Homo-oligomer: A and B are copies of this chain.
Amino acid sequence: MAQVMDLQTFMKERKKLVEDALFSYMNDVEAPQVLVESMIYSLKAGGKRLRPLLVLATLNSFGKSEKLGLPVACAVEMIHTYSLIHDDLPSMDDDDYRRGKPTNHKVYGEAMAILAGDALLTYSFEVMEDLLNQGVSPIKVVTLMKELSKASGPIGMVGGQVADMEGEGKALALEDLEYIHRNKTGKLLGYSIVAGAILGDATEEQISKLYAFADHLGLAFQIRDDILDIEGDAEKIGKPIGSDTLNEKVTYPSLLTMGGAKEKLEYHIYEAKRLLADIPLESDLLSQLCDLIAKRDH
């Protein structure tokens, strides 16, 4: 059975667990020192570890040992981190700061930043193999590796990033915006939840409901992101606000007004919780995570 637990305690404790595992995996990397340093630099600049925590919270909801999910948790965090390194590059968003620290290429140069990103992406699949050592069946490991590739590749995160780039300066409809966010951020968030469910021996029906739950959660996450870029506190976010307006990016507030965006956020959170309540599951932590995403200030 899942333990009922306060979300703040869960996040604090599990964050340390995830980070310990993450840096332990990095300790195993026998590669040129500057490459390893550059990978670790960006991994250390990490924030809430939201994706890893979603893996563990889902496992917890299924009453399973969270330790089982650490390889997946670390893999998704590595992929998320690589995507930030590449997004920040001069030819992409050209950002000098991320979470209040100089971006990877500002410290290690552009070439090393590209390679550190490539290395994190590639290494994440090696880390996944460690699931075998947790007693996960080979067929599950293959499925989880394939789904990780789908969530982060051309039909997932990378595709979303391209659509986002292509959409800049263009008039987008709500469905275009949703395509971008579903792919750019939604699918990896969703994968984190579904991977936890697969490891938790979820039924097909549970997995399909959790997919739908994760879809709403992912869109809510992005709407909150868009709102924070206007109403947020630059110090808490760790980067200047107003960058979307500056880059003439279509956002939920620009498309729906701020009021409309906030309504949409509430709608997705409501739907996410409704779906969650419909799954027989100790889902208190996941439900609290919904509130956290809806109200986060960074």
A177 CB to nearest chain B CB (Å): 14
Most buried by B among A86, A91, A129, A154: A154
- Evaluate contact between A31 and B139: CB separation under 8 angstroms: no
How far is B163's CA from A111's CA once the two chains are assembled, in angstroms?
12
How far is B30's CA from A39's CA once the two chains are assembled, in angstroms?
30
A162 at the interface (CB under 8 A from B): yes
- Evaluate contact between A153 and B122: CB separation under 8 angstroms: yes
A92 at the interface (CB under 8 A from B): yes
A152 at the interface (CB under 8 A from B): yes
- Evaluate contact between A91 and B118: CB separation under 8 angstroms: no
CB neighbours (8 Å) of A125 from chain B are: 125, 145-146, 148-149
- Which 10 residue pairs spanning A and B have beta carbons closest together? A122-B153, A91-B110, A138-B138, A31-B154, A126-B149, A129-B146, A31-B159, A119-B154, A125-B149, A138-B139
The chain A residues found within 8 Å of chain B, CB to CB, are: 29-32, 34-36, 39, 82, 86, 89, 91-92, 109-112, 114-115, 117-119, 121-123, 125-126, 128-129, 132, 137-139, 141-143, 145-146, 148-150, 152-155, 158-159, 161-163, 165-166
* Interchain residue pairs with CB less than 8 A apart (11): A86-B118, A91-B111, A118-B121, A119-B154, A119-B158, A123-B153, A126-B149, A128-B145, A129-B143, A138-B138, A138-B141
